């Protein structure tokens, strides 16, 4: 079984911008109950991801590459609106990869950083451009941002 253990943070400054190059992401969510089903296009690759409920920063996660055309069709016909549009920057820092998401569309203005861990209790060194932790705040889940976009907060 796949498992995702991650923590999310707001950013306190723009000094991260020179540390990585961005890739455009477009993703949507297929309506379900109890699990999250996400369709994503990252660059030129499609993905289908199924995630369980989050408990202590951790949840079951299953992600599979799918043909780009299938992902585009699913985004256009099956997913709730608005779609999540963002540019993701991957930044290596002290042995971990931090993913900084700069949102566009109805979530423009929101920038989040997340880091995936091997254990929920893993200690991490926080970069100086990281601000408040929002790991437990569901408003910052991408699946929530579809229902309540940042521009409407």
Averaged pLDDT score across all residues of the chain: 95
Task: Say whether 29 is catalytic.
Answer: yes
Which member of 25, 29, 57, 93 is catalytic?
Answer: 29
How confident is the model at residue 1, as a pLDDT? 62
Question: Shortest CA distance to 130 belongs to which of 94, 106, 104, 105?
Answer: 94
Quick one: 40 exposed, middle or buried, by C-beta within 10 A (0-12, 13-18, 19+)?
Answer: buried
pLDDT digits (tens, 9 = 90+) for 89-118: 999 999 999 999 999 999 999 999 999 999
Nearest to 2 by CA among 73, 50, 68, 40: 50
State what percent of residues in the chain have pLDDT above 90.
88
Helix (H) or strand (E) holding 72: helix 68-77
Supply the pLDDT for residue 57: 85
pLDDT tens digits for range 49-90: 999 988 888 899 999 999 999 999 999 999 999 999 999 999
CATH fold, domain 3-152, is Hypothetical Protein Pfu-838710-001 (2.40.320)
Residue-range domain boundaries for the chain: 3-152
pLDDT digits (tens, 9 = 90+) for 25-34: 999 999 999 8
pLDDT at 3 over 90: no
């Amino acid at each position: 079984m796949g498992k995702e253990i991650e923590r999310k943070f707001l950013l306190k400054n723009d000094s991260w911008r020179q540390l990585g190059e961005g890739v455009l992401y477009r993703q949507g969510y297929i309506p379900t109950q109890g699990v999250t089903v996400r369709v994503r296009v990252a660059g030129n690759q499609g993905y289908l991801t199924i995630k369980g409920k989050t408990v202590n920063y951790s949840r079951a996660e299953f992600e599979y590459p799918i043909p780009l055309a299938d992902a585009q069709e699913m985004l256009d016909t099956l997913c709730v609106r608005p779609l999540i549009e963002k540019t993701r920057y991957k930044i290596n820092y002290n042995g971990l990869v931090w993913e900084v998401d700069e949102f566009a569309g109805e979530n423009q203005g929101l920038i989040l950083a997340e880091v995936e861990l091997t254990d929920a209790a893993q200690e991490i060194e926080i970069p100086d451009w990281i601000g408040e932790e929002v790991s437990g705040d569901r408003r910052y889940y991408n699946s929530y941002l579809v229902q309540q976009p940042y521009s409407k907060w």
